Amino acid sequence: MKAVKTYDVIIIGAGPAGIFTALELADKGLEILMVEKGQDIRERIATSRNKNALPKDKVRNVVCGWGGAGAFSDGKLTLTTEFGGNLDDYLSKEELAEKIRYVDETYCRFGGAGRKVYGDEHADLIRDLKRKAAAADLRLIPARIRHLGTDVNGEILTNMRDFLADKADIMADTAVDRIIAEDGVVKGVIIKDMFYGCRYLVGAPGREGAEWFVNEVSQLGLEFTSNAVDIGVRVEMPAEVLESITDVVYESKLVYFSRSFDDRVRTFCMNPNGFVVTENNDGLLTVNGHSYAHKKSENTNFAVLVSKKFTEPFREPIKYGKYIANLANILGGGVIVQRLGDLLDGRRSTEERIMRGLVRPTMPTATPGDLSLVLPYRHLQDIKEMLAALDEVAPGANSRHTLLYGVEVKFYSNRLELSANLETKVHNFFAIGDGAGITRGLVQASAAGVTVGQVITAREEC
């Protein structure tokens, strides 16, 4: 097959994993092609601000484009090895910590230096919070967090794009159709019926491309294992309720094992003074949360997620998660919101009941409804127990006026069998980021890109 053009490196996906791979290779004299399914960053920001943009374009833009699904997140850099992905399965804790430091420095170099880092102080208060959490059967995992904010994160991604403009060919609004390998060696990709060759291929498709990626690697005969799927709700309450936590650690990871089922339940993506937003996952409307550097609400929101890892014979956790999300879409036309008190009383919320509540929703387009018709009983019971436990640490968290938005689903791709270099069994074919099932956030996805960039550099120097 004759190539239209042959590159040294082709990178599939321009999320943080793909971007940091390119940044690492930018000055190594290599010809690089980046292929991104969604819009370029300036077009993406313009679409998000355009009130006249088509709804389908707005929805797709949330998780697809330069910067990946994290571009319009609240831009939290989780500077810890304790959570945010599974890179410590491939790197030592020391190596991962060094990569995280390097990633943080890079974000600072491109515009994040002035943003505050939480967790460098208040050691006594953190110990007190841990003690209170333990008494409520919760494990508090504090972390150093640099909060960029959605707006500043967009500026940083734009700066990175401009830096790479003359160092890589970049195809936006372009999807890779096929991955081509022969005799265990990567050869290139098919894009719009044209073949582009390469010596190294980096697969970093993100969550948006996870199912496509699994299908492609399966056809190459590569083995993978199923990751857990996280299903739950986005919780919203007055910011004051959680100030004893967020003022100290900003982003806290609280882990609980339910008494009823011994399921692992955790908080995720806490947004002080933030906003609840809709997220699109391949046509399914789910819920997420953002916070900004220069725009504040009166509420704090966070996810409560139940982790479920399936065993044989079922190996399709993504399909299961999408089934649950689809139920919410059928019943609510998208995201459903319910007062905790209504859920406990076994009745649906109505617009009138929501408006009588003490918490003003930051997502007014959510449909009042009944989450018990969507989430399995087991998940609901786990979530109720988690909120009751959290109330012992932050009184008021379990208020009847607390709002629950559903559903929130985190799809983690099936994880490929990878070497310590994040390389598949196809020579010079690397798989990184959320789409490869090994990371779950900005920092570790970026660190994975740095790792692969360094591996390729070392091979070129040999």
Each residue's pLDDT tens digit, 141-153: 888 889 898 889 9
In eight-state DSSP terms, residue 439 is B
Of 246-250, 267-271, 307-311, give the range with the top mean pLDDT: 267-271
User: Which comes out higher in pLDDT, residue 208 or 189?
Assistant: 189
Within 8 A by CB and 6+ apart from 221, the residues are none
346: left (phi over 0), alpha (psi -120 to 50) or beta: left
Q: For the chain, how are helix, strand and coil distributed in percent, rounded to 5? A: 40, 25, 35
**Residue 292 · residue 74 · CB < 8 Å:** yes
Residue 88's SS3 state is helix
Percent of the chain surpassing pLDDT 70: 97
Within 8 A by CB and 6+ apart from 242, the residues are 270, 272, 300, 302, 394, 397
| pLDDT at res. 282 | 67
Q: What are the E-state strand segments in 53-152? A: 76-78, 117-118, 138-141, 145-147
| pLDDT at res. 42 | 94
Instruction: Tell me: pLDDT of 414 over 60.
Output: yes
Q: Return mean pLDDT, the chain.
A: 91
Instruction: Tell me: pLDDT of 257 over 80.
Output: yes
- What stretch(es) of the chain map to CATH 3.50.50.60? 5-116+148-225+413-461
Mean pLDDT for 31-44 is: 96
Residues in a beta bridge with 268: 303
- For 73, half-sphere exposure in the C-beta direction (CA atoms, 13 angstrom radius) is 23
Instruction: Tell me: pLDDT of 413 over 60.
Output: no
| pLDDT at res. 441 | 83
Mean pLDDT for 355-368 is: 96
CA distance 19 to 29: 17
In eight-state DSSP terms, residue 406 is E
Q: Which of the listed CATH numbers 3.30.1490.20, 3.40.50.920, 3.40.1370.10, 3.50.50.60 matches domain 5-116+148-225+413-461?
A: 3.50.50.60
Phi and psi angles of residue 32, each rounded to the nearest 5 degrees, phi first = -125, 135
Instruction: Tell me: pLDDT of 250 over 80.
Output: no
Give burial (CB, 10 Å; 0-12/13-18/19+) of 351.
exposed
Residue 191's SS3 state is strand
Q: Which residue has the tokens 């403009």?
A: 165
Crossing angle (nearest 10°) for helices 16-25 and 442-461? 30
The pLDDT tens digits for 162-193 are: 999 999 999 999 999 999 999 999 999 999 99
Instruction: Tell me: pLDDT of 130 over 90.
Output: yes
Mean pLDDT for 300-306 is: 97
The pLDDT tens digits for 82-125 are: 888 889 999 999 999 999 999 999 999 999 998 988 777 778 88
Residues in a beta bridge with 406: 336
**Residue 209 · residue 37 · CB < 8 Å:** yes
Instruction: Tell me: pLDDT of 207 over 80.
Output: no
Please tell me the least confidently modeled range out of 141-145, 164-168, 352-356, 443-447: 141-145
**Residue 438 · residue 85 · CB < 8 Å:** yes
Residue 104's SS3 state is helix
Instruction: Tell me: pLDDT of 226 over 80.
Output: no
* CA-angle at 357, arms to 351 and 358, nearest 5°: 145
In this prediction, residue 59 has a pLDDT band, given cuts at 50, 70 and 90, of: low
**Residue 141 · residue 82 · CB < 8 Å:** yes
Mean pLDDT for 270-289 is: 87
Question: Of all helices (H) and strands (E), which one includes residue 338?
Answer: strand 336-339
CA distance 278 to 294: 20
In this prediction, residue 412 has a pLDDT band, given cuts at 50, 70 and 90, of: low
Q: Is the dihedral of CA 438, 97, 141, 399 positive or negative?
A: negative
Within 8 A by CB and 6+ apart from 253, the residues are 82, 83, 140, 141, 142, 143, 266, 267, 268
| pLDDT at res. 377 | 96
